[in-house]
Chain A
Amino acid sequence: MSDALPIEVTSPTPLLELRGISKEFPGVKALDDVSFAVYPGEVHMLLGENGAGKSSLMKVLCGAYRADAGEFYYKGETVAINSTADAQKLGIAVIFQEFSLVPHLDIAQNIFLGREPKGRIPGTIDRRKILADARRVLDSIGFDIDPSTTVDKLGVAQQQMVEIAKAISQNARILVMDEPTAALSDRETELLFALIARLKADGVSIVYISHRMAEVFALGDRITVLRDGRRIDGVRPADVTPDQLVRMMVGRNVDMTYPRHFADKPGDLLLEVKGLTAPTGISDINIEVRRGEIVGLCGLVGSGRSEVARAIFGADPVTSGEIIFDGKTISGEPDLAARRGIALIPESRKSEGLALLRSVSDNLVVSALRRLFPSGLFDQRRAQRTADGLIRQLRIATPSARQTVGLLSGGNQQKVVIGKWLAAGSKLFIFDEPTRGIDIGAKSEIFALIDRLVAEGAAALMISSEQVEICHVCDRAYVMREGRVAGHLTRSELTEENIVRLGMHHA
């Protein structure tokens, strides 16, 4: 594509323009001749699968990476961004997904961290001034909160507001937001969108990275699509359909309906949970999962879905109730559940699913050691062969089985977590948000994989906040509310409306 965008823009000169940016890492071309322009007061959506180069571009923008090649122009003048300080001087600020706030300091101190107004006594902070300044910044973004509240008392959405306030206090003119709604509720998302509109009106430009199609069309003024480190196209939302965007992102047609081969009749009972109650806040849970089924476990975040999964797997203690798996009662630690054939694919794969510093091979065989090496003697070559087989079967994109797993993209890391239970020969797969932070291509691959697993006689219990996915993929679903099962939906009853209706608080 040419650099000249086929669309008219509000201002003739971009606020910031990147031309021909390239960035190479050992073995990977993260960015390949990417050009990218941000105009004043626009929301510029940055789209691409994981590993497409969004993060790298973002890091080049904010000076965390130095581009190997390329030019930067600020209001038409050539500039250099060689450090985060350079980027800050140009008014570029990034709101990362993981916030950089100090939990036990208050909002005002966090906003002015390192730039605190000095008090009369050397080494002290002028409390009155810092609070007043913070108040002013918070007012400017319409965030009504006492600036002396410590940050650890704030929810995710409020912490995000503090991050934005911090950026604004540094006179940010370009705000880069990385999946800002990933951890927000619908209501919080609305508030964020209102704030974005307000910032736009003040002439602040926003570079917005998202995986959610609805947001792209609701917010975006322009869209840049990246794939494999290259800029594929720049378009206006009005000129494209979601399907076209998906095709640009993945470079092939992806079936967004997640094909599923539903069994004619349900298989044998595999998991039966009776009256399960646990100190983690779930009570009287009754659930059944049969072979060949994908059973959804829905409900709002905090309704106890993950707690049910962890209790079944033995990861949390149980007060009362019974878990019958494959005809036998189980109670105990995860190693027992795992040996009997239960697999848990936890929500936070980095902290709970993987040893990030170890190799792909090490991670793939870790749950299958007893099965692969019944004598107790470990054989590195055999482990490697098993890993190579899984890498091929799951199409894990890695240079080799020896690659450190932390260097893979989110979707491929998720495949490794699933692969480790394939190697273990598990019969019941409990997925906790299996597609969180995963791009569309990897998503449909993972669903195809789950479909194949249950077709071969396994079963799946799937927790997901993406109701569309539950509706497309599951045979039936339980809906949780406040630690209890609020209802059960059969295949024909499984609609987004029904899930929301059952899961809502009736306060």
Chain B
Amino acid sequence: MTDITKDAIAPPRSFLSQDAIQVFYRLLAALLICAVLAVLSDSFLSLGNILNVLRQASLTFFIASGLTLVVLTAGLDLSVGANVALSACIAGTVIHTTGSPALGILTGLACGGIVGLLNGIMVTALRIPSFIATYGMLWVLNGLTYWYMAGETLHGFPAGFRQIGSGYLFGLPIPVYLLLVFLGIGTFFAQRTIWGQEIYAIGANPVAARLSGIPVARRLLLVYAVSGTMAGLASIIFLSRLNSAEADIGESLTLPAIAAVLIGGTSLFGGVGTVFGTFIGALILTLVLNGMNLLSVSANWQPLVTGVIVILAVWLDMKTRRRAQ
């Protein structure tokens, strides 16, 4: 082994954790992307564009933050996008029929949460691997939504409700406030509560976690329910922003959310990662797509670029982690 190894180990042990270092590198990467885009495009640094990036990132982040908790337990929730679609359609219907946005919001959150809970039950009580359980759930939810909507589109919501997705407060889009709030809550939950600690422990070794007295099944239920509820929240923002709901709005949401989690440094093997990392992951993803738009790069290239970034991020993580051991 070489001196590089020593250097890689010594500093984190003294003052920074491995997690903190990974987040730090990601912030640097995000800033670097910003710098490059600022040079290449005149409009990048405009206030309008920056707010637009943040608003875009917030949508991915809402879904990805709940998903981060699931991935921390070494699970996966593939049903988040389909969950957003169903929750949005149901919440939209409730607002249309009752005229009460508050009731609609509650229904959307509840719908998302119940779907998440069902995922959790499949994973814990039925012991179906989460990848398969939520993949099945994806199809079930799509089926339900298509049947329910029967090709219709819900249109036109009260102006007050539309403020949630498209309104501003003190010059900042409201979703950006929500982003900060949930970033705070998510980080607090993962780092500063004993449930968060237990979630990390479950992801690191589920057998040892159970034999250490952690109620693994209950924590997993919680995690999947939170992931579902965050999808429900995202559905409300979507509904309010688009001012319409269709059966297929969730189809392009799941994979970017997973990308944000992975770019953010959360390991699919569980036990490693942060909610803040996922926020930066969502930001990097949005910045790159925004930059490509500004530079008039064809949208056809976007999936390819996303894929390359995901692979690069995970590869760099594995490299640094291996070196740290």
Contact = CB atoms under 8 A, between A and B. Distances in A.
Please say whether chains A and B are actual partners in one complex. Answer: yes
Interface of A: 25-27, 313, 315, 333-335, 337-339, 344, 346, 351-358, 362, 365-367, 369-370, 373, 376-380, 399-400, 402-404, 406-407, 420, 424
Contacts of A369: 194, 197-198
Interface in B173-203: 191-198, 200-201
A353 B208 contact: yes
B212 A338 contact: yes
B201 A362 contact: yes
Contacts of A26: 1, 5-6, 9-10
A354 B213 contact: no
Contact of A355 (B10, B215, B271): B271
Nearest to B5: A26
B209 A355 contact: yes
A358 B204 contact: yes
B43 to A, nearest CB: 43
B13 interface: yes
Given A338-B213, A344-B211, A367-B212, A378 B1 contact: no
A351 B9 contact: no
Nearest to A365: B197
Nearest to B198: A369
Given A26-B6, A358-B271, A424 B200 contact: no
A334 B201 contact: no
B210 interface: yes
Contacts of B9: 26-27
B159 interface: no
B313 interface: no
B19 to A, nearest CB: 11
B205 A355 contact: yes
Contacts of A313: 211
B214 interface: yes
A378 B213 contact: no
Interface in B1-40: 1, 5-6, 9-10, 13, 17
Nearest to A355: B204
A315 B211 contact: yes
Contacts of A403: 13
A351 B194 contact: no
A354 B201 CA distance: 9
A78 B191 CA distance: 56
A367 B208 CA distance: 10
Given A25-B1, A355-B201, A377-B193, A335 B215 contact: yes
Contact of B214 (A27, A335, A406): A335
A337 B214 CA distance: 11
Main secondary structure of the interface of B (DSSP, over half): helix
Nearest to B206: A355
A112 to B, nearest CB: 32
11 contacts: A335-B215, A346-B211, A352-B207, A355-B205, A366-B209, A366-B214, A378-B194, A380-B191, A399-B13, A400-B13, A403-B13
A258 to B, nearest CB: 26
B272 interface: yes
A365 B214 CA distance: 12
A411 B170 CA distance: 60
Contact of B194 (A338, A356, A370, A407): A370
A378 B192 CA distance: 5
A329 B212 CA distance: 20
A356 B198 CA distance: 15
B325 interface: yes
A404 B272 CA distance: 13
Contacts of A358: 200-201, 204, 271
Nearest to B272: A357
A379 B212 CA distance: 19
B192 A377 contact: yes
Contact of B197 (A335, A378, A404, A420): A378
A365 B200 CA distance: 13
A407 B215 contact: no
9 cross-chain pairs, A with B, having the tightest CB-CB distances, nearest first: A338-B213, A355-B204, A369-B194, A335-B215, A355-B205, A26-B6, A367-B212, A335-B213, A366-B212
Nearest to B192: A378
A346 B212 CA distance: 10
